[in-house]
Structure 1
């Protein structure tokens, strides 16, 4: 009897010493996934493609919560202030995790101190599209027209610091053309103005631009990847006319700082499984996104590498917050 009591005490002491998360059934309630941009843009479409599969695997619902504005700062700061329990996550990308640091006068969060990078999920290229009123059909024709009409062309983006913005700034710097930047809070607003002639061109993610070109609402001139994209073989790479030009976007799932390691490990594993599912693969392909899973460590290294790269491009291009 004495030895049995001693065994019970030992087990209870062992249980008390283990972290609570070792016993918590994570997740056991809905997960909120903040998308720091408006509905209808590429981040929103891609996360809505991933969320159902991930929710099915985790056994809970995942609620998409769009929080646009401030170059992804508004939504990201809401994440930073949330509890580090794995029930509030967000989409983090090249803007919130890299370009903001060099483009904004100040960023109210530190990527490495205030966030937990869980898993990268995707890579995207952009497509240069123009309004039908612009009398050009190729990148060389666009360059020639822009040089003859300096400042006449206005290009839209889904916000300062996005690849839709910096990609054209890099294009301007490499070709010597002068075009006016018009930032929007949402890609859908920019698209509406492009179709209506309020702006003349955009270089935005393929999930937004490709359907427009296919429907005849805009004219596709080139893609920002180093080579032509398999999904759009008839659209030249901009690099065919502007050697060395390449712009790619990327993004994944992040959380606030100090999420327990076992939850991060679980989420990373489930995200990678979800990305490998036929349903998500097919949906990402239709949206023009390349699946690009990573470990948390690889995601952090990507953020560090891209922060340094885009700092040089911002300086080289002279890009400014409008």
Structure 2
């Protein structure tokens, strides 16, 4: 028994000294029974927007599956970068997650010089949730029924055509800048403070065109207020199968696919990441979720954490090139 007493004494001494017990591999506390308490999800934008809607939808499904509440915390500001910085600095225990997106994960690293986090280094990509199809809408007075004709008009009279965006450095602006870069066309940028006022002026004829959510462009195209001539994804959208992609329209290499996904701080245990990913992927297959995403005009994008991380790295490179070519810069 002296040996047992000595071992216990050493163990107690380590605890008193502040050293935690050494756990066998794969047996860390909380890993096997995760989750055993509420989760916190940071949504880095104000309530009511796409991030918030998707975040609450995912949170509700996790609650239904695990019986643990997912508390949504809206931490908006500076294009979603404030909330993402909070998420990056949270404990890496799997109980602190966030709903990120292309803008604050893939675009922000190139747009802002003083970003408080490194998307690839400081965050764990858990699960891609949804892709937001984008479409090019032009006012019917513009003499172009397809992308080739639009580019021809722009090249024939440089600076004649203009495009609206929801702001400098926004996804709609970057999508248009990629169009300009690949086509060599000179099209004037007219930035707005938000998608709604920008699209309103395109519909009224104050501005010639805009790249925006397919669901918004389609709404006006169906009543003849806009002409939807292309989608920006790698393949045609199920919501508008008759509309060609930019690549099909002659712009080889053109792909803009904005997305939203669940992330967490770097260092979350692998088994917890996999459990979270499996739960979210399963939720995306639920009939009510599929229906909700369809109503929003979004497309589910289930996949592995590795696929999500690869998407992030690819898009960081893509948007860095667009930002550099266009000479865009932001301030924090």
TM-score bracket for this pair, using the shorter chain length: 0.7 to 0.9
| SS of 1:238 mapped into structure 2 | coil
Q: Cα offset for 1:254? A: 0.6
Instruction: Give the secondary-structure state (helix, strand or coil) at the position aligned to 1:321.
Output: coil
Aligned length: 312
CA contact (8 A) 1:126 1:248 kept: yes
Asked whether the 8 Å contact 2:77–2:83 carries over to 1, the reply is: yes
| Match among 170, 175, 178 for residue 167 of structure 1 | 175
- The answer for the alignment partner of 1:126 in structure 2 is 134
1:74 counterpart SS class: helix
Other-structure match for 1:89: 97
Q: CA, structure 1 residues 66+110, in 2 after alignment: closer, same or farther (shift >3 Å)?
A: same
1:291 has 2:282 as partner: no
State the secondary structure of the residue aligned to 2:302.
coil
Q: Is the 8 A contact 1:36 1:74 kept in 2?
A: no
Out of 109, 115, 127, the position equivalent to 2:117 is: 109
Contact residue 33 and residue 62 of structure 1 kept, 8 A: no
Give the structure-1-normalised TM-score: 0.78
Structure 2 contact 136–209 (Cα < 8 Å) conserved: yes
Contact 2:129/2:300, CA 8 A, preserved across alignment: yes
Give the match for residue 280 of structure 1: 289
Aligned runs of 1:136-151 on 2, under 5 Å?
Answer: 136-151=144-159
* 2:78 partner SS: coil
Deviates more, 1:175-184 or 1:61-70: 61-70
2:187 aligned partner: 179
Change (3 A) 1:138 1:22: closer
Structure 1 residue 232: deviation in Å?
0.7
Q: 1:181 to 1:118 in 2, by over 3 A?
A: same
The root-mean-square deviation of aligned C-alpha atoms, in Å, is 3.5
1:30-62: CA deviation from partner (whole Å, max 9, x where unpaired): 633414477445x45544554433332232444
Q: Return the offset for 1:253.
A: 0.4
Greater CA radius of gyration, 1 or 2? 2
Determine the structure 1 residue equivalent to 2:219: 211
CA contact (8 A) 2:183 2:251 kept: no
Q: Which runs of 5+ in 1 are unaligned?
A: none
Match of residue 247 from structure 1: 256
- Residue 226 of structure 2 is aligned to residue 234 of structure 1: no
TM-score normalised by length of structure 2:
0.76
Secondary structure at the residue paired with 1:241? coil
